[in-house]
Amino acid sequence: MTGLGGLNPSEGALVLGLVQQQVPVVNEPPDVKATAEKIAGMVRAAKAGLPTLDLLVFPEYSLNGLNPKVWARDEMLCDIDGPEVEILRGACADSAVWGCFSVMERNRNGAPYNSGIIVDDTGEVVLYYRKMHPMVPLEPWEPGDIGIPVCDGPAGSKLALLICHDGMLPEMAREAAYKGANVILRTAGYTDPIRHAWQITNQVNAFTNLAYTASVALTGADATGIWSIGEAMICDVDGAVLEHGDNSPDRIVTGEVIPARADQARRTWGVENNIYQLGHRGYVAVRGGAKDNPYTYMTDLAAGRYRVPWEDEVEITDGTSAGYGPPREAGSTTETHRSSAPRQTTGG
């Protein structure tokens, strides 16, 4: 039940609009501003058309496009306090609606960041996130360095944002939920080869964390003729799909979630309350459950010695196979070596 796509919101509902935005053509700096204006127009039109909307979610690359030949050009990048973001913030304030937006962010000390923001209904940026796991070797972005933030949202929601490939690593959604997120947004630019993995990870991230997931990708063809998937999805806390879009360009898939239901499940479920039970193993046998950490990968990662058994046999460990220059040394703040961009990408 999703209130007829948000037309008839239930008590305590958060009404979402997931925008399957057509891949924008962005080749020169004026194109970025024009795309920001288009997105702002979509915000205003959507809210006018469905006044019950609380939050509109736009895909990864919806502002800067999917053309890898211009991704890292400084004049094509944006600043979080820059004019393009100001346009998006203004649209939210004008329409009294929340928005989630994608920004390829300028970084003076290295490769650009693939960032996302959540803007409230007064136009304030209330969540700012840098993609933790760029889709290597196809993406040149600096790995995020500010963790996974959570913010208060409408209707009692606590929101987190994952960007595309982030959602393929279960630790990312788990971290968001561990910090209290009951609605996890995921934005993407994925193309057809990733469709199945996209669907199942959106469902798994919901079920294993007793969180709603709301996910959307770009759609339509880019300059290469390769289509992005669209595939807007809203998943219930048990992983069931509540709403599922298609690949229609610029279609807005709407539906409701009730954040209090996720909160209740986390407090009242016994069987499959997995995010609680991870840290309270076997509480039937052991009072309060075993709380030691049995996971070698966790302790090794925390100690800086993460190493898979096949580490020395991994063949692709930088971006040179995709047409990028060699990476900077770890810990360096010098500019990365930038070369010609890869010929195509799955937009992860």
Question: What are phi and psi for residue 188, nearest 5 degrees?
Answer: -155, 170
Q: Which of 60, 84, 139, 142 is catalytic?
A: 60
Going along 157-296, which residue ranges are E strands? Answer: 158-163, 183-188, 212-217, 219-221, 227-229, 233-235, 241-244, 251-257
CB 43 within 8 A of CB 91: yes
Q: Could you tell me if 220 and 228 are in contact, meaning their C-beta atoms sit under 8 angstroms apart?
A: yes
| Strand 55-57, strand 14-20: pairing | parallel
- Token digits for 332? 């360096």
Per the CB < 8 A criterion, the answer to whether 63 and 35 are in contact is: yes
Decide if 21 contacts 59 (C-beta within 8 A): yes
Residue 221 to residues 18, 204, 217, 248, 341, Cα–Cα distance (Å) = 19, 28, 12, 11, 19
Say which residues have a Cβ less than 8 Å from residue 268's Cβ, sequence separation at least 6: none
- From 242, 241, 238, select the one nearest 256 (Cα to Cα): 242
Pick the catalytic residue from 78, 100, 151, 164. Answer: 164
Q: Is 315 exposed, middle or buried (0-12, 13-18, 19+ CB in 10 A)?
A: exposed
131 carries an active-site annotation: yes
The residue from 78, 92, 105, 131 that is catalytic is 131
Q: Which two tokens stand for residue 195?
A: 């469709």
Exposure of 64 in the CB half-sphere (CA atoms within 13 A): 28
For 240, what's the count of Cα atoms within 13 Å in the CB-facing half-sphere? 6
Q: How many residues does the chain have?
A: 348
Q: Using CA atoms, how far apart are residues 131 and 164, in angstroms rounded to an integer?
A: 8
Residues marked as catalytic: 60, 131, 164
